[in-house]
Amino acid sequence: MSLTLIVYSVSGINSVDLNNPRDIGIAKILQALASIILFVFPVYIFVRFTFTGNYGYFLGLKKAERSNMYVLGIVGILLAMPFVFWLGDLNSRIPLPSELVKLEETSSKQMAAFLKVNSPLDIVINVFIIALLPAVCEELFFRSGLQRIIIHICRIPWAGIVMTAIIFSAFHMQFAGFLPRMFLGVVLGAMYWFSGSIYTSMIAHFVNNAVQVIAASYAPKYIDKNPETPVLAAIVSGIVVWAILWYFQKQSTVTYSKVYNTDELNTTNQFIA
């Protein structure tokens, strides 16, 4: 918050004018700072308090159990889109309080201003700030940190994955997209758990974000509206994603005891987070 106030003070603006390119540029800088401060810094403090060294290894910054899991993660997140769009349409039919509706409208206007493209450089900047940074920072916070804690508490990996996904979706404060974001959180959480590498979910998260950023840059109507998706396509999409996660689990050797049996920690015991 202090850094945010400093940036606002130096910039000389009191509120962001969504029609002013300078204000939008400052808002993008603030978004980048927020991603780092809100998500990366707490995880860094967590590992410093919890472990005695090799922090990146405990956060899952290591190779996946199988190299094909990176590709499967990308394919899975792309093939999940029809089901995600269908969930978004279903979510849009749920009535929300007027305060939340206004919040959603404000968020949509801000995102439309962020994604306005005047040159190819704008797309590169948007992909970095809106796609890459959140993919890296949010995965570190929600999967490497929070999911590890929740699974440790409930001792059931799938329960921890789902609970983390619910918190992940609620944290965005965009309830018109709660269901699709929660589903993506489950998919990303499972990819991380079974691969043992946070890179798997980071890459999948980035691909999901980048596709949406690029698509919305050229088709702004889809910022607050889901593409029409036939029910059959959504069903097929959901089944395919389930099959990919099942294959992840089948290839994986990750177990609760391997991750949390700290009495037998060593450099090769597959401690994944």
Whether residue 270 is predicted with pLDDT greater than 50 in this model: the reply is no
Whether residue 251 is predicted with pLDDT greater than 50 in this model: the reply is yes
Whether residue 48 is predicted with pLDDT greater than 80 in this model: the reply is yes
End-to-end CA distance of the chain: 28
The pLDDT value recorded for residue 185 is 97
**Percent above pLDDT 90 for the chain:** 49
The pLDDT value recorded for residue 188 is 97
State the Cα–Cα distance between residues 19 and 27, nearest whole angstrom: 12
Give the mean model confidence (pLDDT) for residues 2-12: 58
State the Cα–Cα distance between residues 194 and 197, nearest whole angstrom: 8
The pLDDT value recorded for residue 272 is 43
The pLDDT value recorded for residue 107 is 73
Whether residue 17 is predicted with pLDDT greater than 70 in this model: the reply is no
Whether residue 76 is predicted with pLDDT greater than 70 in this model: the reply is yes
Q: What is the largest CA-CA distance in the chain?
A: 58
- Position with higher pLDDT, 231 vs 103: 231
The pLDDT value recorded for residue 114 is 74
- Position with higher pLDDT, 70 vs 18: 70
20: left (phi over 0), alpha (psi -120 to 50) or beta: beta
- Position with higher pLDDT, 44 vs 113: 44
Give the confidence band of 16 by pLDDT, cuts at 50, 70, 90: low
SS3 helix, strand, coil % of the chain, rounded to 5? 75, 0, 25
State the Cα–Cα distance between residues 211 and 217, nearest whole angstrom: 10
The pLDDT value recorded for residue 269 is 45
User: Minimum mean pLDDT among 98-102, 108-112, 143-147, 231-235: which range?
Assistant: 108-112
Determine contact, residues 77/190, Cβ cutoff 8 Å. Answer: no
| Tokens of residue 198, six digits | 């946070």
- Position with higher pLDDT, 27 vs 127: 127
Mean pLDDT, the chain, as a whole number? 85
Determine contact, residues 187/80, Cβ cutoff 8 Å. Answer: yes
State the Cα–Cα distance between residues 251 and 241, nearest whole angstrom: 15
Block residue for tokens 């202090």: 2
Read off the pLDDT of residues 115-157 as tens digits, 9 standing for 90 and up: 777 777 888 888 999 899 999 999 999 999 999 999 999 999 9
Whether residue 273 is predicted with pLDDT greater than 60 in this model: the reply is no
Read off the pLDDT of residues 57-72 as tens digits, 9 standing for 90 and up: 889 999 999 999 999 9
Distance from chain centroid for Cα 186: 10
Distance from chain centroid for Cα 31: 15
Whether residue 22 is predicted with pLDDT greater than 80 in this model: the reply is no
- Other residues' Cβ atoms within 10 Å of the Cβ of residue 204: 28
